[in-house]
Each structure stands twice: as structure tokens, then as C-alpha cells.
Amino acid sequence: MTVAVPPFQRLVDEHWRDVARLAFALAGPQEGEDVAQQAWVKALAAYPSLVDARNLRSWLLTITAHTATDHHRSRARRPRPTDELPERAVPPAETTDDRLWEQVRALPERQRTAVVLHYVADLAHTEVAAALGTTAAASRRLVSDALTALRSQLGTDLHEVGS
């Protein structure tokens, strides 16, 4: 049996900013838009067979996080050119915000996903745990480890981080 779900456009109107934020935080300025785009296409394809319509926001954000993870892994597998323009491969971060997002992306995968789902996507630890296939206690630990790492990387540059 299928459940009554709202017209898909309503999800887009209500949640596109959350999805775009999350994709940006997990995949960065260039790739973030692609990740968000892919996540919406996946969600649209899966929508008619959705069996639980109670938390559509969390459903969308989980799809986005998984899309970002897949994206990250497929990039990591791709061979990298080694002798070309090594100094310019990564443009230097200009602002404190850019440095923050860069350090977030440099976190270990599960820490990164947990801290971003919790603070950027505003999901509760139980929802973060469901997205990561773990427990709420483990989610808390991942988020706290991530904040510790960010603070030590960013030093006093970013007093807004976890004060």
C-alpha cells in the first residue's frame, strides 16, 4: 500500500535550501551543486514508492548525505594527474568561512557526515544515527570528535566554532 505524500514540488520549495547547504558543506562549492542536483533526481525517482512519509526532510537529507559520500568515494578512486600544476590544483582558501568548510571536508568521512548532519542540516542525534547506521551515542561521539579536530585545526581564527 502506498501512503499519501504531498506533491513533490512542496518538498522542493520547503527543503531546497537545506539540501543545498548540506551538499555544499559535504562536497564543497564546486561539487556541492552537482551533489544536490543528483540527490533531487534520486529522491524524485524513489518518491512514488516511499513507504513512510512521516519525516520527509530527514529522508531528503539522508539521501543527500549518501550522495555526497558516494561522490567523494568515486572522486577518490579517480586517478590524479601528478606532475601538472601541483601548486594550483587546490586554490587557497580566501576567507575564514572557506577555511572552515575546507577543514570540514578534510575530516574523516563519518565525523564529517555526522557533524554536518547535526549542525548544518540540524538533525537530531537519533536521525544522524539512522543516516549513518549507528547509535545516537556514537553520533554524539563523532560530532564531538569532529569539533575537537576543527578547533585544533582552525585555532583562534574561528572563535565561533564550538565556543
Return residues touching other proteins (CB under 8 A).
4-10, 12, 16-17, 19-21, 24-25, 29, 33, 36-37, 40-41, 44, 47-48, 96-97, 100-101, 119-120, 122, 147, 150, 160-163
Q: Which is nearer to other proteins, 48 or 86 (CB)?
A: 48
Q: Which is nearer to other proteins, 67 or 82 (CB)?
A: 67
Q: How far is the CB of 98 from other proteins (least distance, A)?
A: 9
**What's the longest Cα–Cα distance across the chain?**
57
Q: How far is the CB of 103 from other proteins (least distance, A)?
A: 11
Give the distance, in angstroms, between the CA of residue 141 and the centroid of all CA atoms in the same chain: 18
Exposed (0-12), middle (13-18) or buried (19+): which is 136, by Cβ within 10 Å? middle
Alpha helices in the chain (DSSP H): 8-46, 56-77, 96-106, 109-119, 125-132, 136-154
Q: How far is the CB of 72 from other proteins (least distance, A)?
A: 19
| Gap between the Cα atoms of 26 and 19, Å rounded | 11
| Gap between the Cα atoms of 115 and 117, Å rounded | 6
Q: Which is nearer to other proteins, 44 or 84 (CB)?
A: 44
Q: Which is nearer to other proteins, 25 or 131 (CB)?
A: 25
Q: How far is the CB of 9 from other proteins (least distance, A)?
A: 5
